[in-house]
A and B are shown apart, each in its own frame.
Chain A
Amino acid sequence: MTPEKKLKLTAEPGKQELFIVREFEAPRDMVFKAYTDPDILIKWLGPDGYIMEIDYYDGKSGGAYRYIHTDPKGTQYTFHGVIHSMDAPEMLIQTFEYEGMPTKGHVILDTAIFEELPNGRTKLTIQSVFKSVADRDGMISSGMEYGLTEGFAKLDKILAS
């Protein structure tokens, strides 16, 4: 049996939420640590080719965080939120807001649930609830912009070689 490692994204039309499900070949404690330790977080959270810096990360219930992604062209994308609850190793609930939005208040509520699977594996389920359907669809569309940027970055590399 091959383990299911493929990411599953569910975004029902007309709804304000999306679900992401992914499994990992590592025990739950470890996945939770990689997810909530700022020194480890910077190694994987930012998109390929971006540099991630953490302004602050207070990893506890009632804590808060702020971080900055810098793309290869030097453009910065800053995000912040508060940690509603951090219950190691099974659940993390936090808000998420992109500071580059034209208006404030486009806040996302993320609930991440970490489930133990047999053979030291872990299932991660993230539910993101958006302020509106338009916000959710905008977030999905932002992937397209990122895809383009990424494409251009690759092209730059090819042209430079």
Chain B
Amino acid sequence: MAIQARRDVFQAIADPTRRQIMGLVARERMNLNAIADNFEMSRPAISQHIKILMECGLLNIKQQGRERYCEVELQPLTEVADWMQPFIKMLEQRFDRLDDVLNQMKTDKKSKK
């Protein structure tokens, strides 16, 4: 069995072009041509980025009449926030302790006066 490249949200947002596409489409839904018009690179290259974003669940294509529109799906991004949360919590606890130390230093300074 061939090993398939893993597609996840981290891979999706690691590329600056893909982040720009997300940023554009987050403001308003757009068709493929409108997205490609915002970039210097070739249309097939943009299509490839869009394909990856779709595979990672960050973009959906919706058919409306004869037009096909891209829409963003922000839910998978919470995976990124969840990943960072314990690290943020560790830092928050560290600086909360520093707050306590600083308060103690302020009290000590006052009592010395």
**A residues adjacent to B (C-beta < 8 A):** 5-7, 9, 11, 13-14, 20, 22, 24-26, 30-31, 33-35, 40, 43-45, 47-48, 139-144, 146-147
Contact = CB atoms under 8 A, between A and B. Distances in A.
Contact of A34 (B86, B90, B102): B102
Nearest to B86: A147
B93 interface: yes
Contact of A143 (B14, B15, B84): B84
Instruction: Name which of B19, B88, B103 has the most chain A CB atoms within 10 A of its CB.
Output: B88
Contacts of B90: 47, 143, 146-147
B93 A140 contact: no
Interface residues of B, number: 28
Interface in B52-100: 83-95, 97-100
Interface of B is mostly: helix
B105 A13 contact: no
B93 A48 contact: yes
B13 to A, nearest CB: 5
Interface of A is mostly: mixed
Contacts of B89: 143, 147
B83 A9 contact: no
B11 to A, nearest CB: 9
Given A30-B105, A30-B106, A48-B93, 8 more contacts: A9-B87, A44-B100, A44-B101, A140-B87, A142-B87, A143-B84, A144-B83, A147-B86
A24 B103 CA distance: 10
Contact of B10 (A13, A30, A142): A13
Contacts of B97: 43-44, 48
Instruction: Name which of B10, B99, B102 has the most chain A CB atoms within 10 A of its CB.
Output: B102
Nearest to A120: B106
B16 interface: yes
Given A30-B106, A140-B83, A22 B88 contact: no
Contacts of B19: 13
